[in-house]
Amino acid sequence: MARILMKGNEALGEAAIKAGAKFYFGYPITPQNEVSAYMAERLPEVGGVFLQAESEVSAINMVYGAGGAGARVLITSSSPGISLMQEGISYIAGAEIPAVIVNVMRGGPGLGGIQPGQADYFQATRGGGHGDYFMVVLAPESIQEMVDIMQEAFDIADQYRNPVMILADGMMGQMMEAVDLDNVEKSDRNLPPKTWATTGMAHHQGKNIINSLELDPAKLEKHNLDLKKKYDEMAKNEVKYEMYKCDDADIIAVAYGTTARIVKNTIDMASREGIKMGLIRPISLWPFPQEPFDRTADRAKAYISVEMSMGQMVEDVRLAVNGRKPVHFYGRTGGMIPEPKDILAEIKNILGGVK
């Protein structure tokens, strides 16, 4: 098939099917409803199951069940809905169940609004639910990358027996772009067989029990230490980023998703005015990439985190820069989108101050 035009939300669904997902559970919320509409039509065609749950709480627990039985399962929602799912996500992490969760973020807090946002960064990268856990969080900047990342997300989930989150925003979900769904690169990961899956006594020796309850503190601590080893492996192996025009940049912006696209546009504007600006685009938000900061900290005069939030990723940028250079912030929030000219004005401000 040639390239076709797809809405981000539809592409999420089709990419998951291409990655082998047979189950999708969800509950409607704007701006990601097209995923449900698409899956309702497509999943039955591939022998899968689409089910609209009675709430996000039940939807995420259906994911626990399907993932626990060893199936590839997708769930999507938007900010308030993802908040409702946090208990289930913590259980899924505790019980070590692979699943892919997509948050098509909108403006918050609370019910907020339906326009795009990036203010769930803390929630996504710091666990979100209770207890010591992490998940790999991936942030695509285009529909094609969203499709490619979906395959990767399922592989990562299966490799570590851990939930993976794709952090998109309303603009990524609603916009349309040309995509190629047929040439998605398959990873060469050696995925372990799911001998732990609860598929019934006919399929394995002894009982397979999936549970996140452990009342013996010594055993629970041991479980946490084992999980920690897994998170360390994820942190070591799953870093992804793009460096854009960083080589001789005086100022380096840090941005992901929709905001990264806007910053790339800003970089072109800046270069027309003789300003050397670059972009570090974390594709994995957790683990947060350290290397591009180590490679640029000598040369760059300053960094600026650009977000659709009041300043969340900027904390990780500060940790990565570690005092070597000043770290600034520019953000719009509540569904407002940063404009290149305003980002550029801020950049000029900063560079004026540096000189």
3-state secondary structure of 327: strand
Q: Could you give the CA distance from residue 11 to residue 178 in angstroms, rounded to a whole number?
A: 10
Residue type, 294: D
CB atoms within 10 A of CB 338: 21
- Nearer CB in complex with other proteins: 5/319: 5
The distance of closest approach from Cβ of residue 98 to other proteins in the complex, given in angstroms and rounded to an integer, is 28
- Least spacing, CB of residue 261 vs other proteins, in Å: 4
CB of 127 to other proteins, least distance (A): 29
Least CB distance to other proteins at residue 10 (A): 7
Which residues contact other proteins (rule: CB under 8 A)?
3-7, 10, 14, 30-31, 113-115, 170-171, 174-178, 258, 261-262, 264-265, 335, 337-340
CA distances from residue 12 to 248, 295, 324 in whole angstroms, order as listed: 36, 33, 39
CB of 114 to other proteins, least distance (A): 5
Closer residue to other proteins, CB minimum distance, 140 or 338? 338
CA distance 15 to 194: 22
Comparing CB distances to other proteins, the nearer of 98 and 282 is 282
Residue 2 or 201: the one with the smaller Cβ distance to other proteins is: 2
- Report whether 254 contacts 282 (CB < 8 A): yes
Chain length of the chain: 355
Q: How near is the Cβ of 228 to other proteins at its closest, in Å?
A: 39
Q: What is each CA distance from 346 to 3, 77, 296, 325, in whole angstroms?
A: 38, 33, 20, 17
For the bound state, the minimum distance from the C-beta of residue 141 to other proteins, rounded and expressed in Å, comes to 10
Residue 6 or 153: the one with the smaller Cβ distance to other proteins is 6
According to DSSP H, which parts of the chain are helical?
8-18, 33-42, 56-68, 79-84, 86-94, 121-125, 143-160, 170-174, 217-237, 257-272, 291-296, 313-321, 340-354
**Token representation of residue 330:** 């520019």
Instruction: Considering the complex, state which of residue 116 and residue 163 has its C-beta at the smaller distance from other proteins.
Output: 116
| CB nearer to other proteins: pick between 1 and 215 | 1
Exposure b/e, 208-242, CB count within 10 A at least 16 = b: bebebeeeeeeeeeebeeebeebbeebbeebbbbb
